Amino acid sequence: MSKIHNFSAGPGILPAEVLKQASEACINFDNMNLSLLEISHRSKNYEAVIAEAQSIIKELFEVGNDYEVFYLGGGASLQFAMVPYNLLRENGTAAYLNTGVWATKAIKEAKLLGNVNVVASSEDKKFTYIPKGYAIPTDADYLHITSNNTIYGTQIKEFPKCPIPLVCDMSSDIFSRKVNANDFTLIYAGAQKNIGPAGSTMVMVKKDALGKTGRKMLSMLDYNVHIKGGSMYNTPPVFPIYVTMLTLKWLKANGGVAWIEKLNQQKADLIYNEIDRNSLFYGTVAKEDRSNMNVCFLMHKPELEIEFDKFWKDANISGIRGHRDVGGYRASIYNAMPIESVQVLVDVMKEFEKKFA
């Protein structure tokens, strides 16, 4: 079978060894002669999976016992509502940085629960840059940011020094680079970009930030309920959490975040250098804010897109068509993307220029 170079924006690529282990667990999990998909989530075998998935998150983030880690369903989109529900006080105000579609959706949900102060936005230039130098209100309950924007291809390179609790949606670049996680009060991430398959969402929160809203809490939306329940207040997304655990173990075994950050920078440099060199292509966002996860680019001659599509499809490349809001192309180069696949795309771009420039 020919290798497919999968640049899908999400669900994204997973390590081959993780896929193999996960497929085997579907038949015989933990030598139980039972499928992972049919055992009790409260069995000791699966409780060990949850515990390890939680433990590795804290280890990779280098945080202590003042943080809790738990897994939920609902994707990051559910967290757009759960974050203000658990952190925004009644009659309080939340601050938000608007850098794209997902931040806009988070703002919309927060407004249903209280006052929202949008401290800065890049919507004026179609989210092609990251705002800088904005003032952070010291009386807000928290500041919410989105570290990486998959649709537009921007990424926060330097996180704000925050006098209030800092909340971050890291769905599309979690563990792609070193961050000081202790600077954040809450980090959440849908797994399907960088740490697992679709279906589970990781939340890590400082324990002392909870229980201060003054509202009566619905059980399923209360972080403390899920913490107390050990991610098992209700039946968790069993298989996605297991694959996330395997992916985290893969990352740790290969050298952790420091190792993958170096590799991710090499991949990003390789493709961005070709975009800047190639006479047929150009990048869509401010160079200083370019994402190392989602590389967005357009053609100077859009009429050639049909021909370029033939080139990359013939090279067994998949998933590089841009989001409908941007058009053109988007190469998502998440952690599991090998640099060899990026080189294939770069070679295709070079060959295309030779023929059509």
CB atoms within 10 A of CB 343: 15
Residue 163 lies in a domain: yes
The pLDDT tens digits of the residues spanning 58-67 come to 999 999 999 9
Residues 205, 267, single domain; the answer is no
- CA–CA gap between residue 181 and residue 345 (Å, rounded): 33
Residues 56, 27, single domain; the answer is yes
Q: Pick from 253, 273, 304: which residue ends a domain?
A: 253
Q: Using DSSP, state whether 191 is helix, strand or coil.
A: coil
Given the residues 102, 141, 250, 312, the one annotated as active site: 102
Residue 357: per-residue pLDDT: 87
Residues 278, 329, single domain; the answer is yes
Residue 280 lies in a domain: yes
CA within 13 Å, CB half, 307: 14
Residue 11 lies in a domain: no
Given the residues 141, 169, 173, 289, the one annotated as active site: 169
Residues 316, 269, single domain; the answer is yes
325 labelled catalytic:
no
Domain range for 144: 16-253
Q: Pick from 253, 280, 299: which residue ends a domain?
A: 253
* pLDDT band, residue 3 (cuts 50/70/90): confident
Residues 139, 271, single domain; the answer is no
Residues 301, 184, single domain; the answer is no
The pLDDT tens digits of the residues spanning 166-206 come to 999 999 999 999 999 999 999 999 999 999 999 999 999 99
141 labelled catalytic:
no
Average pLDDT over residues 344-350: 98
Mean pLDDT of the chain: 96
The pLDDT tens digits of the residues spanning 270-323 come to 999 999 999 999 999 999 999 999 999 999 999 999 999 999 999 999 999 999
Given the residues 193, 222, 250, 312, the one annotated as active site: 193
Number of separate domains in the chain = 2
Residue 2 lies in a domain: no
- CA–CA gap between residue 259 and residue 100 (Å, rounded): 29
Residue 190 lies in a domain: yes
Residues 152, 214, single domain; the answer is yes
Residues 273, 323, single domain; the answer is yes
222 labelled catalytic:
no
CATH code of 112's domain: 3.40.640.10
Residue 2: per-residue pLDDT: 66
- CA–CA gap between residue 299 and residue 305 (Å, rounded): 7
Judge whether residue 1 has pLDDT over 60: no
CATH code of 335's domain: 3.90.1150.10
Residues 220, 331, single domain; the answer is no
